[in-house]
Chain A
Amino acid sequence: MVKRHEDVIIQTVCRCLIPYMQIYSLYVLVHGHGSPGGGFQGGCIFAASFVLLAIVYDLREAKRRFSEKTNGVFCALGVFIYTAIGWLCLLLGGNFLDYGKLSKIFPTDPVMARYYGMAGIETGVQITVMAIMVSIFLNLATKGKHEEVLEE
């Protein structure tokens, strides 16, 4: 069971480290075009920040900041962003995920519209991957009994 660890050094270091991890995950996401990275990698790093919070502080504390219901909503939100961008391209006259047609709405030319479309779906992928990794971690950390184990 993930118990609270009463050590000032570890807690302070992690409180400083977690925002940096999250910003780094966004950096990895956005720079996925030109360097190794992308949605999946960024999502894993973002989830790792949550896991660090759960390890250092109590699992109850981590769940207070990011509940399981929010997790489920984020999971669906990521897939929704992905398919919404695809549907938008469909409605604007192209095939599914044909980002070039996004230039009809956004003030860019078709080539850069492809660039931004890809960034958009990578964001959706990041959100979903983060939610799923957090959900896997919660399942394993609570040994499957999500609500009962927090009573101790």
Chain B
Amino acid sequence: MIEQFPALIVVTPLIMSFILFVVSYWNERLCFPILLATLSACVVFALGILDMVIKHGQPIHYYLGGWDPPWGIEYVIDHLNALVLVTVAIVAWLVALYSKSVVEKELHESKLPQFYTLFLLQVTGLFGITATGDMFNLYVLLEIASFSAYAIIAMGERGADFAAFRYVVFGTIGACAYLLGVGYLYILTGSLNMADLTQLIPKLFYNKALLVGFALFLIGVGIKMGIFPLHTWLPDAYTLAPSAVSALLAPLFTKVGAYVIIRIMFTVFDPSFSIKLYPVMDILGWIAAVGIAFACIMALAQSDLKRMLCYLIVAEMGYIVIGIASANRLGLTGAILHIVNDMFMMACLFTVAGAIMYQTGARNIYQFRYLHRTMPVTLGVFVVGALSVVGVPPMCGFFSKWYLILGTIEAKKWLLLFVLLASSLVNAILFFRVIENAYLEPRGEHAFAHDGGHPSISLDGVPWSMLIPMLMIAAGIILLGIFSGVIIKHVIQFAVPASF
């Protein structure tokens, strides 16, 4: 049975989303248990797959339909895949647990079954993108994930439908660019299978059409990933979406896009294509540096917490691209570790933003006065996430930034090193601004007058179903930091291509 897990992890959320939809006609209270049960099964599948990959040491090949590649579609799971699958599964499960109370407060109750259905379809798309080994299958699953994202974002507050429409137009350009890239590759090689393309492409290295195909891939996946300057859909869409939706999409969707870029640049196209033949790494390095600078400046200008975090996502994607652009083992290790770490960090920050919105209705930073009295645990989780983004040990953000910095030093790209260090400083300013507003009280103002009649609240005012996932994510951040050496030794060092 365990050999079937690669297919099961994609198919189970797909069928359960439709079963959830039909069950909601009959009994609405069964929707949330079905959602949690499906995602628990997916966590089990993902852990089983990771276990199999670590034991075998070789990638798992799963042939859909029994047809051998390159005639059939195959799912290839190697170390990089398995790690991303496990992280996506765990974060999706935690956000699903978190989303129950938030969604019941924010959306009308007739829309709840639709929300859960779209949640599961989104998760289907994300798992499929990670697990597949066929280029066109990746396009189909990328579109499944994107459509669920368009629809689920439009359920938000005022302005969300317009932001979702803009995202539809922008995202379709990206997906069509990806499709064109697949088409160019198919015309040149006659194959759509990733492993097959790895062998067929090196003979065509000096072909101009191959270069155009590669550029189209980078543009297409870059739009989905949110790299500067293709990120303009991101702030509006993720800010105006419901809180649970931001908590789901912000950690997962862009990072899976980063995984696709690593897969295309280092597995399908041989690494020497991007490094020695064409100056792709230099261009990516410049784009990442400008992107991080732009994102940090824009984040400093925001007073809305969620919008600030959205610009932070763009900056984090810039870090991953810096790791790729270093083009050595250390840099790529940092990039892959950052994918995993950033999923947890963004989940932490966005769930806290949603919890603050749930409890106080405020999103403006300057309205966070006295929040440490009413929501101490939530703010503690926020501090853990903030320290991780800044890069303070033992949180996980420190270790991934450490590897990224070592990678830029070894590649002698001093501009990227400067950008990394300067942006850490700006991140510190960003977060300490929020923490100062929430924790410190101005001298002379008596807080007792503001407390009013309500007694000192022991725990937050957010329900346990929201608090427990947030605490687990914060614990995950600390654990990932402590065990990052173990992760690198057992998983990531095999995920980096051997020619580095």
Q: Which A residues lie at the B interface, using CB under 8 A?
A: 69, 72-73, 75-76, 79-80, 83, 86-87, 90, 94-101
Contact = CB atoms under 8 A, between A and B. Distances in A.
Given A83-B11, A95-B4, A96-B4, A76 B19 contact: yes
B4 A90 contact: yes
Interface stretch (B60-68, B268-276, B344-352, B449-457): B60-68
A76 to B, nearest CB: 4
A-B residue pairs, 4 tightest by C-beta:
A98-B66, A96-B7, A76-B18, A83-B15
Contacts of A98: 65-66
Contacts of A86: 11
Given A73-B22, A75-B18, A97 B64 contact: yes
B12 to A, nearest CB: 9
B357 to A, nearest CB: 27
Interface of B: 4, 7-8, 11, 14-15, 18-19, 21-22, 25, 62-66
A90 B65 CA distance: 10
Contacts of B15: 79-80, 83
6 contacts: A75-B18, A76-B21, A80-B15, A95-B4, A97-B64, A98-B65
Contacts of B14: 79, 83
Given A83-B14, A83-B15, A96 B22 contact: no
B66 A80 contact: no
A72 B21 contact: yes
| Chain A interface helix/strand/loop/mixed | helix
A95 B8 CA distance: 10
A80 B8 CA distance: 15
Contact of A100 (B11, B18, B62, B66): B66
Given A95-B62, A96-B11, 19 more contacts: A72-B22, A72-B25, A73-B22, A75-B21, A76-B18, A76-B21, A79-B15, A80-B15, A80-B19, A83-B15, A90-B4, A90-B7, A94-B66, A95-B7, A95-B64, A96-B65, A97-B64, A97-B65, A100-B66
Contacts of B64: 95-97
Contacts of B63: 95
Given A79-B18, A96-B7, A96-B11, A73 B66 contact: no
A34 B63 CA distance: 26
B65 A99 contact: yes
A92 to B, nearest CB: 11
A86 B22 CA distance: 20
Contacts of B19: 76, 80
Contacts of B7: 90, 95-96
Nearest to B18: A76
B113 to A, nearest CB: 10
Contacts of A69: 25
Interface centre among A69, A90, A97 (most CB of B within 10 A): A97
A58 B65 CA distance: 45
Contact of A95 (B18, B21, B66): B66
Nearest to B20: A76
B11 A80 contact: no
A30 B450 CA distance: 73
A80 B64 CA distance: 18
B161 to A, nearest CB: 11
A69 B63 CA distance: 37
Contacts of A90: 4, 7-8
B75 to A, nearest CB: 9
A100 B64 CA distance: 12
